[in-house]
Amino acid sequence: MNIQHTSNVYIGTYANQQDPGIFLYTLDTDTGTLTYIDSIAGIENPSFLAHDQQQRYLYAVSETLEYQGQAGGSVATFAIDNQAGQLTFLNQQPTLGEDPCFLTLDGNQRFLVLNNYTGGSICLYPLQANGEIGPLADKIQHHGSSLDPQRQSSAHPHSCTFDPAGNAFLVADLGLDKIITYHIDAEQQKFIYQAETASKPGAGPRHMAFHPSKNYAYVINELASTITAYSFDPITCTLDPIQSITTLPVGFTGTNTCADIHIHPTGAFLYGSNRGHDSIAVFALEQQTGKLSAIAHSSSGGKCPRNFALTPGGKFLLAANQQTNNVVTFAIDPTNGTLTATGDAIQLPQPVCIKIMGDQ
């Protein structure tokens, strides 16, 4: 008897409120094949998703400039059916800042933290026992600018990533060329500033990933098309740069911006996405030094790979190509980290975020 092993995969897209925006597929974790199950409408531009550790609730930003007549976007939560994976809408809260683009949960699963990209602010929400998002508890506004007059004329916090302990979170602010660390005062439900690290002017830090077992952190810089490796002090939550390496192959002269970054569960390989070169850059990660060395550049199988995800076991990588409306499955070679397209791809409108759950 053959037993099929599957995971639920949720894909966020850019979509009008009346159109399907979050799609549910199952992933065959033996073959990498994706099968459509369901989709849900009602949330405009659910461009970034997150879920709780118990996989009971899915959270989605609504990346808009206005919500219910006031400036800013919103954030929504859905209950996940524990059998089929279908979503049931629970509630929605305003972000009071334009274009929310990233959200995450703290280590104790008590709070949700969210970035407003255009609004330049960070929001804190308490999470209720039934999965609903409580009213906005705190908001911090970033101010300033950096080198690029078009992209960095004001603050643009692009991601908020909790440290491995789940206590402090680090905000990569593309507009300020800074990575700013905060922690949460749970009793007061307030953000507490902790530290900050300056990026190279014009770099545009976007997304961040921590090594699964060592004190290294990696930031992908959207504007400079680089990845900066840092040593991370878990006590002070400060970063010390180790290396900066290009995400592009030698000789590439076209226009490119970087987007997403992930580390293989083994900690041996790191991946970053290039939009323009339209590739996933593959790096080996030196465990003793934290430094990266380029291994390969694999076509993403489409145009503008804004987001990608690795299966928790590290067997497959799924790349979401926004401009060609497809998600492509790649097998990961466990010996050298390289990617090989499995031949499986799905079509859906403007996929920009992938979250993988279920049996691994």
Does the pTM exceed 0.95? yes
The CA–CA distances, whole Å, from 11 to 14, 276, 309 equal 10, 22, 10
Residue 360 has pLDDT above 90, yes or no: no
How far apart, in whole angstroms, are the C-alpha atoms of residue 274 and residue 115? 22
Strand 238-246: give its sheet, edge to edge: 205-210, 216-221, 226-233, 238-246
Residue 1 has pLDDT above 50, yes or no: no
Residue 103 has pLDDT above 80, yes or no: yes
Residue 2 has pLDDT above 80, yes or no: no
For the segment 51-71, the average pLDDT, to the nearest whole number, is 96
Using the 8-state DSSP alphabet, how is residue 75 labeled? E
Q: Which residue has the tokens 């590290």?
A: 314
Q: How confident is the model at residue 4 (pLDDT cuts 50, 70, 90)?
A: low
In this structure, the chain runs to a length of 360
Closest-CA residue to 308 (of 343, 282, 289, 284): 282
Q: What is the pLDDT of residue 167?
A: 85
Q: How confident is the model at residue 5 (pLDDT cuts 50, 70, 90)?
A: confident
Could you give the percent of the chain with pLDDT greater than 70?
Answer: 98
For the segment 334-341, the average pLDDT, to the nearest whole number, is 98
Could you give the percent of the chain with pLDDT greater than 90?
Answer: 96
Residue type, 210: F
For the segment 107-112, the average pLDDT, to the nearest whole number, is 96
Residue 137 has pLDDT above 90, yes or no: yes
Q: What is the pLDDT of residue 359?
A: 46
Q: What is the pLDDT of residue 82?
A: 85
End-to-end CA distance of the chain: 19
Q: Which residue has the tokens 């030094």?
A: 289
Residues near 2 by Cβ (< 8 Å), separated by ≥ 6? none
For the segment 340-349, the average pLDDT, to the nearest whole number, is 97
Question: Encoding tokens for residue 268?
Answer: 């041996």
Q: How confident is the model at residue 358 (pLDDT cuts 50, 70, 90)?
A: low
**For residue range 260-287, what is the model confidence (pLDDT) as tens digits?**
999 999 999 999 999 999 999 999 999 9
In contact, 144 and 176? CB cutoff 8 Å = yes
For the segment 48-63, the average pLDDT, to the nearest whole number, is 97
Q: Sort 293 into a burial class: Cβ within 10 Å, 0-12 / 13-18 / 19+.
A: exposed
List, in order of start, the domains of the chain with CATH numbers: 11-358 (2.130.10.10)
**For residue range 67-98, what is the model confidence (pLDDT) as tens digits?**
999 999 999 999 999 888 999 999 999 999 99
Q: What is the pLDDT of residue 109?
A: 95
The CA–CA distances, whole Å, from 46 to 15, 77, 164, 319 equal 7, 11, 26, 17
In contact, 274 and 247? CB cutoff 8 Å = yes
- The chain-wide mean pLDDT, for the chain, equals 96
Q: What is the pLDDT of residue 147?
A: 98
Residue 26 has pLDDT above 80, yes or no: yes
In contact, 292 and 286? CB cutoff 8 Å = yes
